[in-house]
Structures are given as structure tokens and as C-alpha cells.
Amino acid sequence: MPLFLGGLSLCTTVRADEGMWLPLFLKQNEARMQEMGFKLTAEDVYDVNASSLKDAVVIFGGGCTGEVVSSQGLVFTNHHCGYGYIQQHSSLEHDYLTDGFWAESFAEELPCPGLKVRFLKEMRDVSEVVLAGLENGTSLAENVRRDSIDARSRRLMKEAAQGEEIRVVPFYHGNQYFLFVYEVYEDVRLVGAPPSNIGKFGGDTDNWMFPRHTGDFSVFRIYADTANRPAPYSPENKPYSPKRYFKIDLRGCEEGDFTMVIGYPGRTQEYLSSYAVEQVLKQEDPMRIEARTLRLEIIKAAMDRDAQTRIQYAAKAASIANGWKKWIGEVKGIERLDVVNSKRDYEKRFGEWTATPEGAAYASVLPALQKAYEEFEAVQGEAVVFQEYVLAPEAVRFAYSFKSLCEATEENFSETLQKHRVAAADFYKNYNPEVDREIFEKMASKQAGKSAAAVPDPAQIERFYTKSVFTQPQKMLALLQDFKPAQRKLIQNDPLYRYALSVYDTYLSNIAPAVTRVRRQIDSLQRLYMRGQMEMKTFSGPEMLYPDANFTMRVAYGQVNGFSPSDGLVCKPYTTLKGIMEKENPDIYDYVVEERLKELYRNADYGRYANKRGEMPVAFIGTNHTTGGNSGSPVLNAEGNLVGINFDRNWEGTMSDIRYDAQMCRNIMLDIRYCLFIIDKFAGARRLINELEIVEDL
């Protein structure tokens, strides 16, 4: 089979800044990058035989990126990536989320159980091993193919050495497979975090938007055993000595300057058919937006009414709102760019090509995709209703989680019970039954007509919140204190538990299998369609087809660049501390500014961190193509030095997961000078500044 990556397309060069490229094949982008100002080579970014920039980039936790910035294993990532760990160490006495945290010595750095960072050691093409005999067009059923691939991948993964992890990942919708070897460090400690009114400044109000003023960073450190090898937490562990770390460049970036982002973008879908885009545009996004609008209205009103609820629901509201706001931007962007029609035009050309002998093998793929998406739409609506309506009241999911206690055997009963005690305490800490009931009533009243599922009537809902033990925290926690196997009857007869069982049962036995069946069909057609698009080679996007994001390391490059969000408006490419003072509002939680920061501003006490114009830069934007997962990614200048930390995109450009547009799509980066200014001038954590290697004009 043809090797798309590195083989086929080596001779061409890329034109636009669009794309998330595999570091292993960066040679093909090198000329264009250098033309844009890049002063290094592809080997400087990725080299299996020598240390290269990629060695300073890590997967941070489950879904973010981080970068090593000192010879002692110091790591920078976003505040929103470190959030859970900062929260883990926070209590009423030490509220690190609110007040920030700065360890004053190694001994004060806080272990974060469960947090791992992964270094990419190497990657290689394993398509021949994984796909042998399974090429498209063979009559093998999709599930047989899937099982063979899984079995072969598992065999490859077993080759991982101590402290290593191997992942085998499909590219180009399953036309190619790559193997990734990671070195996994699991003793990672919290070193520093700004207070939330810096690290989360602007909150959900400013999320997905520019101009932005969020100081979205936090600081961690990797620890290793005395041989510098990965090891579980131990007080004997030493700060990790990395193969490579980034130098920090205080010279800043101006409009037009080259930038490069190395990180772990999670998921994009640039090669979908018009049918798929229509499904997202007409069904998926609108349904989810509508449901979340209802839920957020209730949560936000409750948060405004009551300070306790505000704390309880802050993280939940943030995560519900993050997707909600992104989809709203995505729909607008897809419409503005008329993506469906431009895909249709392209499909017409694709159809003409398949009428030639060259493309004949792909003649049936688009009609088949069209049919499959009709089927998908019919089943997916029910799935979305289940996820966004039926599961909107948290008590439903929570009640269902007690199935495992009801089904526990004699041997694992006490262990299971203990897990439920912990989970219940966790759950109720951030739970308000009145808010939940309001959500239940609202969602039920709006669900009718959207799905075939039965909707509980008001009397039933009333029972859930007056008679069920799940919505009575004190009662439930007391019950679990000394819970006996025989008392499981209480749960089994609980009205909310019975309701939860029945809705989950419908979902798991009818809805999910139907969705999976059509999804599999779509996956196999999309694999064929992807291959066809690569062979036709006149894709409407960039000349070379970069693989969709799949949470593997990618390089995106572009330049610092403003944009025009709408007629008559032009955005500068950067913001400054002045904007924070302009946004300040002591009455609005998202816009509170601390006295210390105001004082630094009043005195223009920026030290070495000001830009040439004497301003204190905060955030900047560029044309680098990024997505969720790229949060925390290092932003490098032409010399490969750290100038920023990636953290978001502009709202007008969130459709870049489906269609990138160089005019409209911008990534948002924290200026590294603001990060250092906060560490140094605001927090006085000189000890951290002293271990950085700083490049500046003297």
C-alpha cells in the first residue's frame, strides 16, 4: 500500500499555514517554514539520534501539553490544565485556587497522585504489521478487521520496557498506523500557580475569545529516581534532569514573526463529506447547544443567587459552557465559510474523477456515505437526547453508579461500599438538589417530541427529589456509614434508582448499539473516502494532506497576526496589562483584580518583562493551527526558544476543527513575559526565575 506520509508527498511543499504536521516528516515543511522566518531545521525539531526540541515537550496528564523549561525538570502548562491538581491541594485553610501557590523549596513542592507526564521517545510506521492482509476492498467484515488490528496492536504494545508505554494509533482514518513509544514519569509535583483571578481572569465570559487577558499558566516539576529513571512517588526521588529544555526568550514576538507550536492536538475532522458536516451543522451542534443553554441558564442563575452554589458549580459550569460556546462558534464559522457547499463542489469533482479509470475504485463511496449519514441522523438524535437531556440532572448518573454496589458479591462488598462512600462524599460536596431538580424539570419539559423515550411527569420528578435517598445528601451519607448487604433493597426500590436503571437500559440495549453499528459503517467508508481524496490529490485545502489530529505530537507553524472578527473591526495581535485594568470590575467574579497587580501597573513596575513600547504584554494571537489538547503547548520563535504558552482559540475560528481558514482562525497564546512577570514581580518566586535560562537583549 502507498505510504502517504513521508512517501507520496515529499516532493511538494506546503503553501498555507494550515496543518498539524508529524514531527517525523517535518522535512517536507522545512522550506516553507524557513521562508516564513524559521532559523532551524527539521532535524532540530525531531531527531531520533540526538536531542531535539521534541524532547522538551510532554503530554501533561490526560489531555493537555506541557514543556520542560529547566535543567531540573521544571514544567510549564496552562492553569486550566493544572486546575484539578491545584484544587486537589486546596482546602478552606489553604485555598490555592483562590490565593495561588508558590513552593519556596523542593521540599514544599506538592506530590500529585495520578498525574503523569509522557515524553515521546520515538515513533514509527507500523502499517505493514498492523494492516497486512486487511487492505480496503477486501471482503473482510469491519468487526473482523477491527479485531485483527486490536490484537496486532496489543502485541506491539507488549514490547514496552519498564517505565515505557506504547500506543498504536490510526492515521488518515485508519489507512496508516503509527507506533509511539513514551517514557512515563509519574512523580510530578505542583510548584506554583497564580491566583485564579490571574490564571482564570475573564473566566467563561472571555473563554474562546480575543482580546484575552488570562494568565493561563501553572508550574510543575518532574521527579525521577536516583538514576534519573521514571519511578513512583518517593521522598527520595530527585528533580528530573531532562534531555532537553527550552530557553526562554524575553525579546517577544511582533506582528509577522514566525511562531511554532509543538503539542498534542486531540481531534480534528478536516476530510469529512458534506453529509457529515451537515449532520454536525443541522443536528449535532444545535441539539447540544439548545440543551446546554437550558442547563446553563439554571446553573448560572443559581450561582448568582448564592455564593456556596457558585463555588460548587464553578468547575461544572466551566466544562458545560466550554463545549457549548465552542459549538456556537463552530456553527457560525461553518455557515460563514459555506463549508457544506464548498464540500459539495469538491464532491462533484471527486465524482468526475471516480468516473475515470484512475478513480473507479471509489465510485460508490460518496453515495454510500450519504446513505449512512441518513441512517446516522436517525439514531444519533436519540443518543444526544440521552446525553444532554436525560443525563442532565446529575442525580440520574449518580444513582446509576450504585448498580455496582447492588451487584457486588460477598467478597467485594466492603471494598465496593468504601468506593461508594468516597464517591458520594465527592459528589455531594458539589451538589445542590434544588438546582438539580430545576434542571430535571426543565429538561423533561423540553424533551418531549425530541425522542421516542418516555419522559417522567411532574409528579414522578417530585418523588425523585422528595422520596429518593439519592437527592438527600445527609440521609445517603448516613446510610452508607454502616450499610449492610441486606439494605440494598432500599436502593433497589428507590424511585430514582429504578428510573436510572430503565433509561440506561434503553440506552445501552437499543440506542448505543444502533449508533455503533452505523458509526462502524461510516468509519469504513470514511477510510475509503480519505484514501480516495489522497489519491485524487486536488483537495480544496492545502496541497499536502496532513493527518487529522489524534492526540499524537504535531507541529503547527504560522505567524503572529491580528484579524478582523467582523466588518469594521480589527483586532491587534496582542493584549497588555492595561486591558486587565480596563476590564476590572470588583463586583463581577471573573473580573476581580488584586491590589498587588494594580500597584505593579500603577508603577509600571515591569522590570525586564516589558515590551519595546514599555507595555506589559499579556496574550497574543497567530495563525498556528491548533485544537483541544494543544493547551499548554510551547510556542517557539524562529530560534526555537519559548515565547509563549498556547491556551485557546478565537471564537470566530473554532470551526478550524472541521475547516481551517487563514483569515479567521487564530490560536491564543500567553506571552511568556507575562508568565515570568507574575512569577517574579507579582509572586516574588525568584527561586524559579533563577533556574530558567533566559535570552534577552541587554
- Please report, as ranges, the residues that interact with ligand ARG according to CB under 6 A: 80, 203-204, 207-208, 318, 322, 628, 631, 648
318 binds, among ligand ASP, ligand ARG, none (CB under 5 to 8 A by kind): ligand ARG
Number of residues that bind ligand ASP (CB under 6 A): 9
Give CA–CA dist 229/238, Å, rounded: 10
User: Residue 224 pairs with which residues in a beta bridge?
Assistant: 238
264 binds, among ligand ASP, ligand ARG, none (CB under 5 to 8 A by kind): none
Beta carbon of residue 634, minimum distance to ligand ARG (angstroms, whole number): 17
Beta carbon of residue 508, minimum distance to ligand ASP (angstroms, whole number): 30
Burial class (CB in 10 A: 0-12, 13-18, 19+), 236: exposed
HEC per residue, 294-331 = HHHHHHHHHHHHCHHHHHHHHHHHHHHHHHHHHHHHHH
Of these, 197, 218, 631, 637, which contacts ligand ASP (CB under 6 A)? 631
275 binds, among ligand ARG, ligand ASP, none (CB under 5 to 8 A by kind): none
- Contact between 630 and ligand ASP per CB under 6 A: yes
Contact 624, 633 (CB under 8 A): no
Active site residue 631: yes
Contact 480, 463 (CB under 8 A): no
Query: What is the SS3 assignment for 373?
Result: helix
406 binds, among ligand ARG, ligand ASP, none (CB under 5 to 8 A by kind): none
Stretch that binds ligand ASP, among 382-390, 437-445, 622-630, 671-679 (CB under 6 A): 622-630
- The alpha carbon dihedral of 127, 133, 135, 140 has a sign of negative
Query: In angstroms, what CA-CA distances link 305 with 1, 310, 435, 589?
Result: 62, 8, 11, 13
Question: Among 540, 559, 542, 547, which residue's Cα sits nearest to residue 16?
Answer: 542
Beta carbon of residue 667, minimum distance to ligand ASP (angstroms, whole number): 6
- Contact between 576 and ligand ASP per CB under 6 A: no
Nearer to ligand ASP, 259 or 627 (CB): 627
- Contact between 626 and ligand ASP per CB under 6 A: yes
HEC per residue, 127-189 = HHHHHCCCCCCCCCCHHHHHHHHHHHHHHHHCCCCCCEEEEEEEEHHHCEEEEEEEEEECEEE
Beta carbon of residue 629, minimum distance to ligand ASP (angstroms, whole number): 5
Residues 6+ apart with CB under 8 A from 536: 349, 350, 353, 359
Beta carbon of residue 323, minimum distance to ligand ARG (angstroms, whole number): 8
Choosing from 9, 17, 70, 80, which is the catalytic residue? 80
Residues 6+ apart with CB under 8 A from 566: 652
Contact 619, 628 (CB under 8 A): no
Q: Fill in the per-residue mask, 53 to 82: x = in contact with ligand ASP (CB under 6 A), - = not in contact.
A: ------------------------------
Beta carbon of residue 630, minimum distance to ligand ASP (angstroms, whole number): 5
User: Residue 182 pairs with which residues in a beta bridge?
Assistant: 120, 165
Nearer to ligand ASP, 163 or 323 (CB): 323
Nearer to ligand ASP, 192 or 653 (CB): 653
661 binds, among ligand ASP, ligand ARG, none (CB under 5 to 8 A by kind): none
Residues 6+ apart with CB under 8 A from 301: none
Of these, 629, 634, 640, 653, which contacts ligand ASP (CB under 6 A)? 629
19 binds, among ligand ASP, ligand ARG, none (CB under 5 to 8 A by kind): none
Choosing from 153, 631, 633, 656, which is the catalytic residue? 631
- The alpha carbon dihedral of 390, 392, 396, 400 has a sign of positive
Nearer to ligand ASP, 473 or 562 (CB): 562
Q: Residue 33 has what DSSP assignment?
A: H
Choosing from 44, 216, 548, 680, which is the catalytic residue? 216
Contact 68, 243 (CB under 8 A): no
Beta carbon of residue 206, minimum distance to ligand ARG (angstroms, whole number): 8
Residues 640-659 that bind ligand ASP (CB under 6 A): 647-649
Q: Residue 243 has what DSSP assignment?
A: S
Instruction: Report the residue number whose CB is nearest to ligand ASP.
Output: 631
Stated length of the chain:
698
Which residues of the chain form contacts with ligand ASP (CB under 6 A)? 626-631, 647-649
Hey, which residues are catalytic here?
80, 216, 631
